[in-house]
Amino acid sequence: SASIAADPAHSLAAEATGLLARLGVPPEKLKAGSLEVRSPIDGSLLARLQTHTVADVQAAIERAHRAFLSWREVPAPRRGELVRLLGEELRAHKSELGRLVSLEAGKILQEGLGEVQEMIDICDFAVGLSRQLYGLTIATERPGHAMRESWHPLGAVGIISAFNFPVAVWSWNAALALVAGDSVIWKPSEKTPLTALATQALFERAAERFGTAPDGLSELIVGNRTVGEVLVDDRRVPLVSATGSTQMGRAVGQRLAARFARALLELGGNNGMIVCPSADLDLAVRAILFAAVGTAGQRCTTLRRLFIHQSLYQPLIDRLVRAYDAVSVGNPLEAPTLVGPLIDRDAFERMQQALSDARAEGGTVIGGERLLADRYPDAYYVRPALALMPAQSAVVRRETFAPILYVLSYGELSEAIHLHNDVPQGLSSSIFTTDLREAERFLSATGSDCGIANVNIGPSGAEIGGAFGGEKETGGGRESGSDAWKTYMRRATNTINYSHELPLAQGIQFAI
């Protein structure tokens, strides 16, 4: 907008303060502390927040634990009513929160709004779920007996989220946890605490309207790795759901394993697409473009590896180069922009390192350079890069959180599937083909080894109704739809004897 061009630093901070006020976060909360929050749009300072101390975190965990002890006794459909109210608050404030996501995380406005839509969708899902927390009844071996399983609330759930989906990831976890009878303690990325404060304020409004939610049902802790570690190590937190790098997940997973706590890990992706000879190329080009450059390549589901059948290789590369040329990179709040900034300078430097590694490994890089440095000297905009690689070398096998698409060619589908699976990560994948045999083979037990496998759509943009997550170094967790709710509850198997005998299992007899 005109005002941003006139005085970017002033107007982004002022706009964020105004949005936060409308979302229920007072301006005095934004000036007090040592944590500097900057907008990736122009690098300007948006706020200074107070961070929580170790003692604050321990107190928050205690409040959340106490909240759990009473919340677990509230009937699940009534718990669903709180989540329904949260969904209403999100609907009413979608435009403000979506815009704040754009300001703080740098994604384009339509994606900021889309992120809030995912929050609304998971609330709807969870409300329905609150009447469907079904267990099984199971045939028993013994006469006069019944066997069933019950699903009970688990406890206070820790949620560690990343900058790239600063609020939706909380909601995928929190909406399920709350209907499951759990409380939640959220540690957002230090890069995106403002959207977290806003979301917490919306939750508090919903809780106020609900009337009888216990204090501490949803806690927010702001700070760095140290406060995250307190959360991960505390015995009152039986489940931690963590989204972020594989390196972070390895540390969190090991600490949780040491105290036998449950881990739900959503870590790196290195998502691939195979384009077969029969593919609809118009569809494929659109899908590749958005999946590879959307969100400036900063989704865990971003398309990073493209395997093109050799018969299509050159024509498809030509089309992609033209499509990449037409991509508008710029201020994410402005209308034609498809690709906003990288989150910060570190992200830019890691991207440049990956591109130089790609060249050293024999690749040809098209694009990838910094853009708009004159207009935004403290922000990092880049032209999305295509890297034509001679082989799936080291750089292709690691996740770089930036818009780099590594392109390889293949001859036989089995070779493509082998290469596709031959990376440490296993989140999302897709195939473009109109051949039924190829599609079904990709989806079969010997096809893609990922948690998400798609046909004729890209690997990103999963709907909340399915279980979301992946295998191998992606961490194995599933959140969001399907039966992901089971991770947030504990299962009890119950055997009931309504007879006058005591038949033992496995035919055991004994005399007394």
Rg of the chain over Cα atoms, rounded to whole angstroms, equals: 24
Question: Does 33 contact ligand UN1 by CB under 6 A?
Answer: no
Question: Does 261 contact ligand UN1 by CB under 6 A?
Answer: no
Q: Which is nearer to ligand UN1, 183 or 302 (CB)?
A: 302
Active-site residue (options: 115, 300, 438, 450):
300
The number of beta carbons lying within 10 Å of the beta carbon of residue 107 is: 29
The one segment of 144-152, 245-253, 367-375, 459-467 that binds ligand UN1 by CB under 6 A: 459-467
Q: Concatenated DSSP letters for 313-379?
A: HHHHHHHHHHHHHT--BS-TTSTT-SB---SSHHHHHHHHHHHHHHHHTT-EEE---EE-TTT-TTS
Please, are residues 478 and 459 in contact by the beta-carbon 8 Å criterion? no
Tell the smallest beta-carbon distance from residue 215 to ligand UN1 (Å): 30
Q: Determine whether 15 is an active site residue.
A: no
| Residues from 227 through 246 that contact ligand UN1 (CB under 6 A) | 243
Of all residues in this chain, which one has the CB nearest to ligand UN1 in the complex?
462
The one segment of 90-98, 200-208, 294-302, 366-374 that binds ligand UN1 by CB under 6 A: 294-302
Chosen residue from 102, 183, 195, 301 binding ligand UN1 by CB under 6 A: 301
Q: What is the Cα–Cα distance from 143 to 240, expressed in whole angstroms?
A: 41
Question: Does 165 contact ligand UN1 by CB under 6 A?
Answer: yes
Q: How many residues contact ligand UN1, by CB under 6 A?
A: 9
Nearest to 103 by CA among 32, 46, 165: 46
Question: Does 164 contact ligand UN1 by CB under 6 A?
Answer: yes
The one segment of 63-71, 126-134, 281-289, 295-303 that binds ligand UN1 by CB under 6 A: 295-303
Q: Determine whether 123 is an active site residue.
A: no
Q: Beta strand pairing status for 145-153 and 489-497? A: antiparallel
Beta bridge partners of 365: 387
Q: What is the Cα–Cα distance from 400 to 270, expressed in whole angstroms?
A: 9
Q: What is the Cα–Cα distance from 369 to 381, expressed in whole angstroms?
A: 9
Chosen residue from 135, 277, 461, 503 binding ligand UN1 by CB under 6 A: 461
Nearest to 71 by CA among 63, 209, 439: 63
Tell the smallest beta-carbon distance from residue 6 to ligand UN1 (Å): 33
Q: Which is nearer to ligand UN1, 17 or 429 (CB)?
A: 429
Tell the smallest beta-carbon distance from residue 138 to ligand UN1 (Å): 35
Chosen residue from 460, 474, 475, 476 binding ligand UN1 by CB under 6 A: 460
Q: Which residue has the tokens 């990288």?
A: 342
The one segment of 12-20, 223-231, 455-463, 494-502 that binds ligand UN1 by CB under 6 A: 455-463
Q: Which residue has the tokens 């959140």?
A: 479
Give the largest CA-CA distance in the chain: 92
Active-site residue (options: 15, 190, 266, 399):
266
φ/ψ of residue 306, rounded to 5: -120, 125
Question: Does 163 contact ligand UN1 by CB under 6 A?
Answer: no
Q: Please, what sign has the CA dihedral across residues 228, 233, 238, 244?
A: positive
| Residues from 372 through 431 that contact ligand UN1 (CB under 6 A) | none
Q: Which two tokens stand for residue 236?
A: 């009152």
Chosen residue from 97, 252, 300, 342 binding ligand UN1 by CB under 6 A: 300
Please, are residues 43 and 379 in contact by the beta-carbon 8 Å criterion? yes
Question: Does 462 contact ligand UN1 by CB under 6 A?
Answer: yes
Residues lying near ligand UN1 in the complex (CB under 6 A) are found at 164-165, 243, 299-301, 460-462
Catalytic residues: 266, 300
